[in-house]
Amino acid sequence: MPSEENPFIPGKPASATPEFEEPQCPQGPLGSKPDQSGPRPTTPTGADSADGQTEQAQQGEYHTTAQGGRLPDTNHSLKAGARGPVLLQDHHLREKITHFDHERIPERVVHARGAAAHGTFVSYGTASTVTKAGFLQPEAETEVFTRFSTVVGSRGSPDVARDTRGFATKFYTSEGVFDLVGNNFPVFFIQDAMKFPDIVHAAKPHPDREIPQAQSAHDTFWDFVSLHTEATHHTMWQMSDRAIPRSLRMMEGFGVNTFRLENAAGETSLVKFHWKPENGVHSLLWEEAQLTNGFDPDFHRRDLADAIEAGAYPRWELGLQVMPDSEDETFEGIDLLDPTKLIPEELAPVTSVGMLTLDRNPENYFAETEQVAFHPGHLVPGIDVTNDPLLQGRLFSYLDTQMTRLGGPNFSELPINRPRCPVNDMFRDGMHQTAVHQGVAPYKPNSLDGGNPFSSKGEHALIDVPQPVAESVKERRASASFDDHFSQARLFWLSLTGIERQHLAEAFIFELGKCYEETIRQREVKNLAAIDRGLCETVAEGLGLDVPQTTEQPAADVTASPALSQISGRWPVAGRKVGLVASANTPIEQITVVRKAVGDVGMVPLLIAPRGGRLGEGNTAVAVERTYSTMRSVEFDAVVLAGGIETSTAIDVLISEAWRHLKPIATCDDAEHLLEEPGIGLDDPGIFCGGGPEEVTKQLIAALAEHRTWARAEM
Ligand code: HDE
């Protein structure tokens, strides 16, 4: 058969399928620039993008092999004739595919799903009385990289799973890297690192079917936490609204473990770290979260990157709760070494010590967000660890896990992990060593390299705080003060408002309702009796279980901590999204006025219309950003309905969901009629009708400062 004939399309040549014509560069002498008329990458990417180093991962304009040979063609393998077998000698084919075959690295064993950003930390100097850490001294400014994560799901799991969130910040200080590896809850499931594999095995998908993904609503999780009552306090947080944040920008962060700080005079104190978001702490509603996971599994990741790109930089104040370094390491009767306990802010106020601003998105997810390696043992002078048994285990784990994940001991040479101060560690060789070390004597003492490098005994040396160690015996036992598993779970419950308590009880009913084993449900409901009778009764009723007969009584002398509730106050609205529904019949001025009012306060208007294209004519035309088939209420914090829209199922669903999710809704002109079908009253809380487009939009923006129209929840 003539090789040119196409066997499937008679009469057509074999190459009848149109092929992408690649722009060709004219041949030039080595080192010369090619004709640059063709498409080019907009930003040159390379190692320098992550850390300011000059080393480039991608140089020159020509496509090359890994060895730098210029390639004329990367679309066809080398064959014995156009229809013949592929030749083994095709190095480019083998190199390209072999590299691709090894592109994945193991995901993190926990916290696999994450999103990150670069930024700056500016110290207020207020911490200088308690720590000598350079980055916390007056006017110090430090480059940072922050990675947020869910804990349980794998790398491709949806963002708004009910879960704890990681909040890890790498400070590239002049005294070395300091990592604050925290979570968005102030407490943890377990008191001893020994139990970490147990809680993680229980929370991860079942080992037989590997389901469910990124969820705690399953038997093994509830089996473990119901049997292991030290998890009770953390489980209460996990069932609360805190576990489904509205945005990564709207989460608090906590160091969880207690750290020991030392000031320049050698005085020490025990400290808990806090991050307080400028945007306030806000959550999704459970139904909203479930819909979001389907509609946009990347919801949090997108929100963070969009906000930074739009200039709505998220900010957090770093705060310290400072407690005396007492002999028994307790404060107001609370054991500071027990990571299942928090210190109420009413007892130890949080002092602000600096501001974190995230203002730059990563350029390459893998190089930065995936390869960043945090470690609670990355400390600087002035910050030391305590004997918290959870923290002690963490100090081992984070270094160990990188060996598997990043393939050896040289991960601190990766651009994102490199300290921004001189490093002379005498470590040599090993997998993926990229440095070309000088000298012949990587040992101490030496005379051959002139004694280099020298030990530092001065101001900036990492000298361990000379903390006395109690005389004791070796034993596998926890301190008796670790035995109380319920009083702070009750403290959290009592600190919440009515609607927050309702959400928490509903979460228990949902999660336990998903368990197959009734004994597990019964066991957990019995535990709830030790927290609060009302909570126990509501959950038992929701599950159709008898209220357990138990002698267990909730702790009597617990005082609420109002600071733990997240419903109060008014907060900045920048970066929030407003859905503006319009149609070809809407006067263009209305669209312009609403978009301007929304944009003026840093919020993002998204124009929704029945179909794509543009609304309006000529210069004033506005691009449609969402159509009825690509939008869903969960994407918006509030909805404005412009005039000239016809009733439709898509709009009914949008309005009903926005109403149910307590979102402000405004109408312009005749749009009030759209509220009839979903049964929404014009006088309902958070419904703004009857004014001009600018007026109703401003009312809606004012309402958004409270995050949701909470009054509607009472209806
Ligand atoms: Fe982690 N944790 N953890 N953890 N953790 C990891 O390290 C571990 C704990 C936290 O964005 C791992 O590099 C043990 C508490 C965050 O890269 C691993 C124990 C808190 C991140 C590990 C804990 C955290 C991790 C997995 C119990 C809040 C993500 C991949 C003793 C204060 C960091 C990795 C990132 C990641 C171990 C408990 C926060 C396996 C053994 C408590 C934010 O090393």
Each residue of 555-601: pLDDT tens digit? 888 999 999 999 989 999 999 999 999 999 999 999 999 999 999 99
- Residue from 108, 390, 414 whose mutation best tests the ligand 1 pocket (most atoms within 8 A of CB): 108
Which stretch of DSSP H or E encloses residue 639? strand 638-641
Listed residue (372, 448, 406, 424) closest to 179, CA to CA: 372
Which residues line the annotated binding site for heme? 108, 147, 196, 394, 398, 405
Q: What is the C-alpha to C-alpha distance for residues 343 and 321, in angstroms, rounded to an integer?
A: 8
CB neighbours of 407 closer than 8 A, spacing ≥ 6? 105, 431, 432
Active site residue 183: yes
**Residue 93 is which amino acid?**
L
Q: Whose CA is nearest to atom 22 of ligand 1?
A: 398
On whether the CB atoms of residues 217 and 510 are closer than 8 A, the answer is yes
Half-sphere exposure of 174 (CA within 13 A, CB side): 11
Tokens representing 694? 């600018």
Give the CA distances from residue 326 to residues 58, 330, 332, 344, in Å, rounded to whole numbers and listed in that order: 55, 7, 11, 18
Q: What is the C-alpha to C-alpha distance for residues 146 and 277, in angstroms, rounded to an integer?
A: 14
pLDDT, residue 445, reads 96
pLDDT, residue 553, reads 81
Specify the ligand 1 atom closest to the Cα of 256. 32
pLDDT, residue 3, reads 45
Provide the β-strand partners of residue 145: 118, 170
Centre of ligand 1 to C-alpha 110, Å, is 7
**Residue 501 is which amino acid?**
R
Burial of residue 263 (number of CB atoms within 10 Å: 0-12, 13-18, 19+): middle
Q: What is the C-alpha to C-alpha distance for residues 607 and 639, in angstroms, rounded to an integer?
A: 10
Q: What is the C-alpha to C-alpha distance for residues 569 and 281, in angstroms, rounded to an integer?
A: 10
Q: What is the C-alpha to C-alpha distance for residues 257 and 322, in angstroms, rounded to an integer?
A: 13
pLDDT, residue 458, reads 82
- In CATH terms, are 114-380+388-413 and 577-714 the same topology? no
pLDDT, residue 23, reads 60
- Please state which CATH number belongs to domain 486-564: 1.20.1370.20
Q: Please tell me which residue in 118, 183, 233, 661 is annotated as part of the active site.
A: 183
| Residue 195 near ligand 1, beta carbon < 6 Å | no
pLDDT, residue 4, reads 53
Which stretches of the chain drop beneath a pLDDT of 50? 1-3, 6-10, 14-18, 32, 34-54
Any idea where the domains of the chain sit in the sequence?
A: 114-380+388-413, 486-564, 577-714
Listed residue (323, 175, 266, 326) closest to 466, CA to CA: 266
Strands of the sheet with 626-627, listed across from one edge: 626-627, 604-609, 577-581, 638-641, 665-667, 687-688
Provide the β-strand partners of residue 178: 171
Provide the β-strand partners of residue 607: 580
On whether the CB atoms of residues 343 and 560 are closer than 8 A, the answer is no
- Residue from 181, 185, 385 whose mutation best tests the ligand 1 pocket (most atoms within 8 A of CB): 181
Strand 176-183 relative to strand 604-609: parallel, antiparallel, unpaired? Answer: unpaired
Q: Whose CA is nearest to atom 34 of ligand 1?
A: 398
Number of neighbours of residue 715 by Cβ within 10 angstroms: 10
| Residue 168 near ligand 1, beta carbon < 6 Å | yes
Q: What is the C-alpha to C-alpha distance for residues 236 and 20, in angstroms, rounded to an integer?
A: 57
| Residue 632 near ligand 1, beta carbon < 6 Å | no
| Residue 401 near ligand 1, beta carbon < 6 Å | yes
On whether the CB atoms of residues 564 and 492 are closer than 8 A, the answer is yes
Residue 14 phi, psi (nearest 5): -55, -35
Fold of 577-714: Rossmann fold (3.40.50)
Fold of 114-380+388-413: Catalase HpII,  Chain A, domain 1 (2.40.180)
Q: Please tell me which residue in 6, 92, 111, 417 is annotated as part of the active site.
A: 111
pLDDT, residue 39, reads 37
Centre of ligand 1 to C-alpha 275, Å, is 17
Q: What is the C-alpha to C-alpha distance for residues 297 and 147, in angstroms, rounded to an integer?
A: 18
pLDDT, residue 53, reads 43
Listed residue (287, 177, 322, 303) closest to 251, CA to CA: 303
| Residue 196 near ligand 1, beta carbon < 6 Å | yes
| Residue 608 near ligand 1, beta carbon < 6 Å | no
Torsion angle, alpha carbons of 75, 79, 85, 86, to 10: -60
Listed residue (521, 523, 547) closest to 533, CA to CA: 547
Q: Report how many helices (DSSP H) and strands (DSSP E) the chain contains, helices first.
A: 15, 20
On whether the CB atoms of residues 352 and 319 are closer than 8 A, the answer is yes
Active site residue 503: no
CA 397 to chain centre: 21
On whether the CB atoms of residues 418 and 372 are closer than 8 A, the answer is no
**What SS3 state is found at 519?**
helix
Tokens representing 134? 């350079």
pTM for the whole structure? 0.93
CB neighbours of 559 closer than 8 A, spacing ≥ 6? 344, 346, 491, 494
| Residue 316 near ligand 1, beta carbon < 6 Å | no
